[in-house]
């Protein structure tokens, strides 16, 4: 099974700033995914990050707001840009091996 770590585990940010979340996997994986989980809500897929190509975004999410990098097969970053309080959520990294594995999440609070 894949082991996923995320940094930071939590952060409190000011409105208008940006935060970059890192995701590290202990094995090489083709597909990495970023999800958002708003307080008390279920998970929503933001985008799929494949190494060597642009990320594919789901409806309602755009690259300018959530730029993603995927420099190699074990690492990805998600940036939450120009943050507002509505961006306060848990952001989860996920990878597909035989099963789908999720990271511990990054709890973001925007003031």
Output 47 or 110, the one with its CB closest to another protein.
47
Site for another protein in 21-50 (CB under 8 A): 31, 33, 42-45, 48
Least distance from another protein to the Cβ atom of residue 82, Å:
26
The three-state secondary structure class of 86 is: helix
- What does the alpha-carbon distance between residue 107 and residue 41 come to, in Å, rounded to a whole number? 13
Beta strand residue intervals within the chain, DSSP E = 4-7, 10-13, 19-25, 31-37, 43-50, 56-57, 68-72, 75-80, 89-96, 100-102, 106-110
Site membership for another protein, residue 78 (CB under 8 A): no
Site membership for another protein, residue 100 (CB under 8 A): yes
Residues in touch with another protein (CB under 8 A):
4, 31, 33, 42-45, 48, 92, 94, 96, 99-105, 107
């Amino acid at each position: 099974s894949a082991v996923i770590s995320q940094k930071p585990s939590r952060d409190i940010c000011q409105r208008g700033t940006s935060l970059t979340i890192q995701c590290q996997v202990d094995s090489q994986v083709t597909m990495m995914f970023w999800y958002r989980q708003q307080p008390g809500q279920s998970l929503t897929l933001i985008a799929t990050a494949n190494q060597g190509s642009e990320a594919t975004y789901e409806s309602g999410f755009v690259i300018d707001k959530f730029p993603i990098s995927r420099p190699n097969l074990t690492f990805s970053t998600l940036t939450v840009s120009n943050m507002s309080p509505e961006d306060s959520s848990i952001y989860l990294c996920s990878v597909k091996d035989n099963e789908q594995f999720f990271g511990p999440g990054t709890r973001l609070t925007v003031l």
